[in-house]
């Protein structure tokens, strides 16, 4: 069957419109799920009846299920935008090569005596046969992903270094984790070295004004060439953990970021 150029253009426009509409619907639905979770969270603080706790659990579970089973299985899961859900609390960051994305949000859940908060982090990534996803959450120790830095090692391996943060009682915790797709499976790997130690994570915690905590830039950062990693040195002043303006510097040797004392 042959189509004229005008007919092909019409078909492409229809397909594009359907995809755009489906993502608009997904965005609207996700935003509604966040609203429901917030609604039942407030009621669970006031009255912890079984019905309200079940409603909170179900609303939070719907967000997870929708991201995992609908969003991440879509052809454009790593590029689509969700502005309404983002306003409600959905975070998503994509690597600069477009092959890796992390969705993160704070789940409001029932607790033993009071409701509790846990982070949800799900990664979508590209393999030779398509796309896969993996739950990379670590519960209360997780955070919102704010940035992904793509590093290529000397043996051409691709490493994704993700910045996370969480805030509690005016303290901002920043964490750095590294991932790589190995044999078509996403794994958290160790790319940091300090002496004989090769930790999977680097972190720092410091005091910030509550009204500026979310907007403040990450204190852990790379240089423009991605050859140096700067981790802030923090000192205690009374009850505050204060950034000193000094850094521990990790230098990339082609495989690992190695701490070098007195490096600038």
* Rounded Cα–Cα distance for residues 72 and 103 (Å): 9
* Rounded Cα–Cα distance for residues 91 and 157 (Å): 27
Q: For residue 83, which of 95, 72, 92 has the smallest C-alpha distance?
A: 92
Question: What pLDDT is attached to residue 14?
Answer: 32
Q: Give the tens place of pLDDT for each residue, 194-229.
A: 999 999 999 999 998 655 545 566 789 999 999 999
Q: For residue 95, which of 70, 71, 124 has the smallest C-alpha distance?
A: 124
Structure tokens at 167: 């805030």
On whether residue 200 sits in a domain, the answer given is: yes
On whether residue 121 sits in a domain, the answer given is: yes
Query: Which SS3 state, helix, strand or coil, does residue 67 take?
Result: helix
On whether residue 23 sits in a domain, the answer given is: yes
Instruction: Give how far Cα 85 sits from Cα of 28, 204, 213, Å.
Output: 7, 29, 21
DSSP H helices in the chain: 5-46, 50-66, 83-88
For residue 91, give its domain range. Answer: 5-209
The whole-number average pLDDT for the span 235-255 is 93
* Rounded Cα–Cα distance for residues 17 and 64 (Å): 26
Residue 128 above 90 pLDDT? no
Residue 44 above 60 pLDDT? yes
On whether residue 220 sits in a domain, the answer given is: no
User: Which of residues 38 and 143 earns the better pLDDT score?
Assistant: 143
Number of compact structural domains in the chain: 1
Least confident window among 20-29, 144-153, 176-185, 212-221: 212-221
| DSSP 8-state secondary structure symbol assigned to residue 228 | E
On whether residue 105 sits in a domain, the answer given is: yes
Quote the percentage of the chain above a pLDDT of 70: 78
* Rounded Cα–Cα distance for residues 248 and 257 (Å): 11
On whether residue 104 sits in a domain, the answer given is: yes
Q: What does residue 202 show for φ and ψ, rounded to 5 degrees?
A: -120, 150
Helices and strands: H and E segment counts in the chain: 3, 14
């Amino acid at each position: 069957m042959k189509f004229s150029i005008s007919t092909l253009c019409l078909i492409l426009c229809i397909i594009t419109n359907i995809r755009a509409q489906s993502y608009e619907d997904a965005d609207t639905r996700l935003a509604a799920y966040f609203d429901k979770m917030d609604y039942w969270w407030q009621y669970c603080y006031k009255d912890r009846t079984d019905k309200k706790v079940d409603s909170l659990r179900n609303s939070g579970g719907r967000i997870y299920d929708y991201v995992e089973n609908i969003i991440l299985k879509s052809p454009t899961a790593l590029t689509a935008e969700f502005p309404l859900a983002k306003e409600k609390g959905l975070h998503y960051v994509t690597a600069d090569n477009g092959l890796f994305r992390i969705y993160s949000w704070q789940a409001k859940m029932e607790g033993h005596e009071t409701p509790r908060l846990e982070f949800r982090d799900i990664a979508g990534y590209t393999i030779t046969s398509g796309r896969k996803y993996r739950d990379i959450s670590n519960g209360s120790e997780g955070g919102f992903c704010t940035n992904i830095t793509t590093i290529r090692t000397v043996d051409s391996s691709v490493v994704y270094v993700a910045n996370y943060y969480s805030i509690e009682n005016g303290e901002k915790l920043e964490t750095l984790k590294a991932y790589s797709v190995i044999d078509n499976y996403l794994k958290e790997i160790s790319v940091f070295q300090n002496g004989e130690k090769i930790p999977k994570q680097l972190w720092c915690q410091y005091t910030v004004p509550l009204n500026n905590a979310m907007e403040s830039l990450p204190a852990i950062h790379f240089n423009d060439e991605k050859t140096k990693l700067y981790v802030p040195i923090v000192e205690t002043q009374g009850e505050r953990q204060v950034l000193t303006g000094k850094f521990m510097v990790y230098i990339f040797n082609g495989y690992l970021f190695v701490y070098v004392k007195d490096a600038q």
